[in-house]
Structure 1
Amino acid sequence: MQHAPADRPSSVPAARTLLGAALAAVLALTATACAGGGRGTGRPAGPVPPTVRSPAAHPSPALPPALTRGQARAALITAADLGEAWEPTRGAATWRDELLKATAGRPDCRRLLDVLYTEDLFGTDAATAPRATAALDDADGGAQLHYRVTSYRAADLDRTLAWLGTLPDACGHFTARAGHGAVRDVRVTGLPLPEAGDARGGLRVTVGEAPPDDATDTGRDTRADTGDQVLTVDLVAVRIGDDAISLTNGTLGEPPDDATRTAVEAGTERLTEARRQGRVQV
């Protein structure tokens, strides 16, 4: 009689035991990770969100596209625009150092004199550097006209134009002192301009020898009475979009009004066309 083989212990219960232990370990690790990830933060574990910067940390808006050098040169006026007497300059006029190189006590008046001497109306940094310049002389009357094309933000250009508008009141009549000690008598008035561009501003500034103390009380301009040389300078700027033209037209005597007006009208038209051509090319 054959005996039935002895029963072998089943491996199923052991396998189930091992699987259960493994699952318990995994669950324990997961619970620990969740608790650790949220400890002290109250947030579930997960990907770290990108850092949100404050508005002050964001870069400032980029400057508007500037005219190319070629477009700015095309916007310049020429001697042909002003008339037969005008020609390319032969050099800086002697009155620039003699009468304009001076300083004043009031900040706005001092800044005005600096602008007249340096012709940097919109600033001296790279962002406001002129894109193109021209200098012309009136061979008959001795006037000298300097002309610039600048690109910058419209709001900043308008801020400078608004400052120009305050000067007839802030610096209508003041004295300035030259480096060699001479005292200058300076008068500032508004200058009517043609309706050109999006915004504009103009001044007429006269600079001469300061009159005697007793003459200043009368309020009358006695400089012509004594034969002193009186420099007259027109300072003008016109904004067209994010670009601007600026000019000075100065002479010892009375500057011809038609030269300043013609420069404004012709220059505005040229700059408007240069901007249009630039948009077409883009």
Structure 2
Amino acid sequence: MTRPSRPARVLASALAAGTLLATAACADESGTPEASTVSPAAERSPAPSATPALTGAGAQAALITPADIEDDWQLANDAATWRNTMLVGKVDVAQFLTAKADAADCQRLLDGLYSDSLLGRTTGASGLRGFTSEDSRLLYQVGDYGSANLNATLDWLKSLPEKCNQFTATAADGSPRTVQVVEYKEPPKVGDALAALTVTVQGTSNGQPAKTTLDVTVFRVGASGAAVTNGGLSGVDHDSTVLALQNGAQRLKDVLSGKTPAPLPSQFD
């Protein structure tokens, strides 16, 4: 079917409109534009950053206190120098028959836990605080790491229960250590994103059988994040991990929104 041609008056109108538009963009005889068009986008000021950067004072204010985790936790003065020798070991690569690259992830986990560097390097301010209760330790770290880096760390941690479910590492004295990595079941929903594991290491310490269990959790709020590592030779108190996550996330949110965290934590049901 042949499409009918447009009436001549329609084409004439379109040509006239095009001529008017072209004329409006031209300069008058004095060289001054007769009209200028500014796009709405150019008139708008740049959008503010979605999440403010964490300052040094803010990082310290975002750190949890003994009141946030309750029970018998005491503030420690030497948390920055803590090193758990049960986490020292060289992963047996031969166990990873079909995925040797996974061995590198397992080694990174052990090394990161030993050196308290799971979150990597900060891009801004950071803070660290430790607590002790009998033979258990709880370490809380907070800092500005960048959202992309934190998301990559969270994705990596979430992959470990499959990659590193159980493996053997050789201690400095040549003795074997069995490491198990499982998903932390039903962690509290905090921050913008969260990864939660429970890591168990069995072997010997000073020639005696030993077993240490740790909750290893990381969450992100904007470009800032925090890590909670909690446990020891007597096992792990999951309730303290939950409180550290809940109250820590609230403190970080308050600081990033310009508020002062409450001296006492909120009560969670």
Q: TM-score range by the shorter chain?
A: 0.5 to 0.7
Match of 2:146 in 1: 153
Q: 2:213 aligns with which of 221, 224, 232?
A: 232
Give the AA of the match of 2:215: D
Relative to structure 1, the CA distance from residue 65 to residue 277 in structure 2 (aligned partners, 3 Å threshold; closer, same or farther) is closer
TM-score by length of 1: 0.65
Unaligned runs of 5+ in 2: 1-48, 94-102, 260-269
Relative to structure 1, the CA distance from residue 174 to residue 76 in structure 2 (aligned partners, 3 Å threshold; closer, same or farther) is same
Match of 2:129 in 1: 134
Say if 2:154 and 2:194, in contact at 8 Å, map to a contact too.
yes
Q: CA deviation at 1:82?
A: 1.3
Relative to structure 1, the CA distance from residue 276 to residue 92 in structure 2 (aligned partners, 3 Å threshold; closer, same or farther) is closer
Q: C-alpha distance in 1, partners of 2:82/2:147?
A: 33
Report whether the alignment pairs 1:199 with 2:199.
Answer: no
Q: C-alpha distance in 1, partners of 2:80/2:251?
A: 27
Give the AA of the match of 1:134: R
What is the alpha-carbon root mean square deviation over aligned residues?
Answer: 2.6
Say if 2:215 and 2:238, in contact at 8 Å, map to a contact too.
no
Greater share of residues in helix: 1
SS of residue matched to 1:127 = coil
Larger Cα-atom Rg:
1
Match of 1:16 in 2: none
5 Å matches for 1:3-152? 66-89=53-76, 91=78, 96-104=83-91, 105=93, 106-124=103-121, 127=123, 131-139=126-134, 142-152=135-145
Q: C-alpha distance in 2, partners of 1:90/1:149?
A: 17
Say if 1:90 and 1:137, in contact at 8 Å, map to a contact too.
no
Q: C-alpha distance in 2, partners of 1:162/1:186?
A: 20
SS of residue matched to 1:253 = coil
Q: C-alpha distance in 1, partners of 2:64/2:52?
A: 22
Structure 1 runs of 4+ aligned residues shifted over 2 Å read 90-98
SS of residue matched to 2:53 = coil
Report whether the alignment pairs 1:176 with 2:172.
Answer: no
Give the AA of the match of 2:203: E
Q: CA deviation at 1:261?
A: 0.3
Unaligned runs of 5+ in 1: 1-61, 211-226
